[in-house]
């Protein structure tokens, strides 16, 4: 038998091993147990040494509390919001209509590719023409054009950018929720370099070029769920498997997930996602993707569906008369509102959900605050900054607006965010500290993505797992770092002897201490 202390250490070791294994993707409960156990306070330095989290040289973000032992002073975790930029697409072609939605964007070599659904609806409900899926391309992710594909006839002509139609005889009804991805599996054949899911139940589709599609099999790969939404799949390069997310109902709109070693068969039984501290409302689309700069972390950009019914505030929202017209066909068309959320996961099944909106409906007076707006696209892409020539690249995503407005085209607007800039550890000028859990790392340099005021800044120190400062690498040894950088090396010492090499403590169990004043820390990485 073991005493309490030894049992706790045993649980911690077991939890961490489970957390790092691929089997975690199938066990939200074990992830939760691991998270709780790893968060327990230390009882001795020696035991803490044995369960230090090995981050190797991975980039770590603060989109959850996984590495955070404590926040002191005025330090806090805050959610940032993407900045609205230019409208990149207006659905003003006859085949597009006001039903622009379910958008996927990814970079393929030197080109950016955008897949989007077209459809036209009277008062948001009655279809005026068949649904189609279209392709747009771009060299920079900012200026987009429609290629003339010559594949599908619409209005007596094939001069359009339509890939698929809901009346496709070979593929069937997969056009409503068609969701493609570029398969990064190194073993994928060239003829199946592009893959997609669509229909309901979900069918697997493959393509050699992202334009000409066929069924990988006639047998659906995912059958348990409600599929009238954008469902998606991708290759998880960290765990070496395919992952899918799809719609289902559980106390409203919710998300299920499953995995497979092979795309066209062998999918696991779907399970509902587990949320902390809570789901944050009904989730319509999920838009979950591995973050390219830190692929061990999944980021989700779901659409929150909020219907507060008819109440005194409803009539003050834009276009009250049109809302009433929509409500006569379907009440929710006049009362429901959609907006963007943000969430993250380290196992694909348990997600930390920020309860506040990532993208609010916004300060517009005509076409906003409607059901169908603010759907975030599937996929994040890196684009050049439009702020200035010397500004670094940024992240871009694309959101719908002015959707389902009678006689009007819908729009797709680009939003931008700094690299890793989803969440930061922030402190005002009064100051605060972040103390990490015990970690092990590999590399010889510590790199920060941070921003400060001219008067503020950041200091970084190392301690052993018991909290004793390491000589030469303490907070007091670190001169204040200030500026605005995506990659900034941390230095210690005096002006006559500055060092930035931390290779001597690599592999040891240590804690990081970040002291901040009027600054934001977005991510860090050892190199």
| Confidence (pLDDT) at 93 | 97
| Confidence (pLDDT) at 45 | 44
**pLDDT tens for residues 173-221?**
899 999 999 999 999 999 999 999 999 999 999 999 999 999 999 999 9
Closest C-alpha to 411, from 98, 21, 151: 98
- Between the two ends of the chain, the Cα-to-Cα distance in Å is 43
**Percentage of residues in the chain having pLDDT higher than 70:** 91
In which band, very low, low, confident or very high, does the pLDDT at 169 lie, cut at 50, 70 and 90? confident
Domain covering 83-417 in this structure, CATH number: 2.115.10.20
Q: Which residues, including other chains, have CB under 8 Å from residue 236's CB and lie 6 or more apart?
A: 242, 243, 259, 290, 295, 348
**pLDDT tens for residues 326-348?**
999 899 999 999 999 999 999 99
Q: φ, ψ for residue 47 (rounded to 5)?
A: -65, -40
d(CA 364, CA 336) in angstroms, rounded, equals 17
| Confidence (pLDDT) at 480 | 97
472: left (phi over 0), alpha (psi -120 to 50) or beta: left
**pLDDT tens for residues 304-319?**
999 999 899 999 999 9
How many residues make up the chain in this entry? 527
> Which residue is it, tokens 């909290």?
467
| Residues 277-303, mean pLDDT to the nearest whole number | 98
The CA-CA-CA angle for residues 481, 415, 106, to 5°, reads 100
224: pLDDT strictly greater than 50? yes
In which band, very low, low, confident or very high, does the pLDDT at 172 lie, cut at 50, 70 and 90? confident
Break the chain into its structural domains and give their ranges. 1-40, 48-77+425-526, 83-417
123: pLDDT strictly greater than 50? yes
Domain covering 48-77+425-526 in this structure, CATH number: 2.60.120
Q: Which residues, including other chains, have CB under 8 Å from residue 60's CB and lie 6 or more apart?
A: 67, 294, 523, 524, 525
In which band, very low, low, confident or very high, does the pLDDT at 25 lie, cut at 50, 70 and 90? very low
């Amino acid at each position: 038998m073991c005493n309490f202390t030894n049992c706790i250490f045993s649980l911690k070791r077991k939890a961490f091993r489970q957390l790092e294994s691929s089997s975690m993707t199938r066990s939200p409960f074990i992830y939760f147990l691991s998270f709780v156990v790893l968060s327990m306070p230390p009882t001795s330095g020696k035991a803490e040494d044995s369960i230090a989290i090995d981050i190797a040289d991975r980039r770590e973000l603060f989109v959850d509390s996984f590495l955070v032992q404590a926040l002191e002073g005025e330090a806090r975790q805050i959610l940032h919001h993407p900045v609205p930029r230019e409208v990149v697409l207006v659905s003003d072609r006859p085949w597009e209509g006001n039903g622009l939605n379910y958008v996927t964007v990814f970079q393929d070599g030197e080109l950016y590719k955008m897949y989007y659904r077209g459809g036209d609806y009277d008062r948001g409900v009655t279809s005026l023409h068949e649904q189609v899926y279209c392709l747009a391309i771009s060299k920079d992710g900012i200026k987009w054009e429609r290629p003339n594909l010559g594949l599908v006839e619409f209005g007596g002509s094939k001069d359009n950018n339509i890939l698929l139609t809901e009346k496709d005889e070979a593929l069937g009804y997969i056009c409503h929720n068609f969701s493609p991805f570029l398969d990064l599996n190194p073993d994928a054949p060239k003829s199946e370099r592009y893959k997609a899911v669509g229909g309901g139940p979900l069918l697997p589709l493959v393509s050699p070029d992202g334009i000409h599609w066929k069924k990988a099999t006639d047998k659906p790969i995912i059958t348990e769920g409600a599929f009238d939404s954008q469902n998606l799949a991708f290759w998880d390069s960290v765990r070496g498997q395919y992952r899918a997310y799809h719609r289902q109902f559980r106390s409203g709109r919710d998300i299920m997930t499953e995995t497979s070693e092979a795309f066209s068969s062998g999918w696991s039984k779907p399970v509902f996602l587990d949320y902390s501290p809570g789901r944050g409302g009904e989730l319509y689309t999920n838009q979950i993707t591995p973050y390219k700069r830190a692929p061990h972390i999944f980021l989700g950009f779901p659409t929150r569906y909020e219907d507060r019914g008819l109440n005194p505030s409803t009539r003050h929202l834009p276009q009250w008369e049109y809302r009433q017209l929509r409500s006569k066909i379907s009440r929710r068309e006049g009362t429901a509102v959609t907006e963007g959320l943000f969430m993250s996961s380290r196992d694909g099944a348990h997600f930390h959900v920020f309860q506040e909106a990532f993208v609010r409906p916004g300060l517009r007076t005509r076409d906003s605050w409607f059901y169908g707006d603010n759907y975030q696209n599937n996929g994040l892409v890196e684009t050049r900054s439009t702020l200035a020539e010397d500004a670094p690249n940024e992240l871009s995503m694309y959101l719908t607006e002015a959707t389902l407005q009678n006689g009007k085209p819908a729009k797709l607007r680009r939003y931008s965010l700094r690299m890793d800039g989803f969440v930061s550890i922030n402190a005002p000028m009064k100051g605060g500290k972040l103390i990490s859990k015990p970690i092990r790392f590999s590399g010889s340099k510590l790199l920060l993505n941070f921003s400060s005021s001219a008067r503020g800044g950041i200091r970084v120190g190392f301690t052993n797992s018991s909290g004793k400062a390491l000589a030469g690498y303490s907070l007091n040894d670190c001169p204040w770092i200030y500026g605005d950088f995506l990659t900034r090396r941390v230095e210690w010492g005096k002006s006559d002897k500055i060092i930035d090499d931390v290779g001597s403590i690599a592999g040891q169990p240590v804690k990081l201490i970040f002291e901040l004043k009027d600054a934001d820390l977005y991510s860090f990485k050892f190199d």
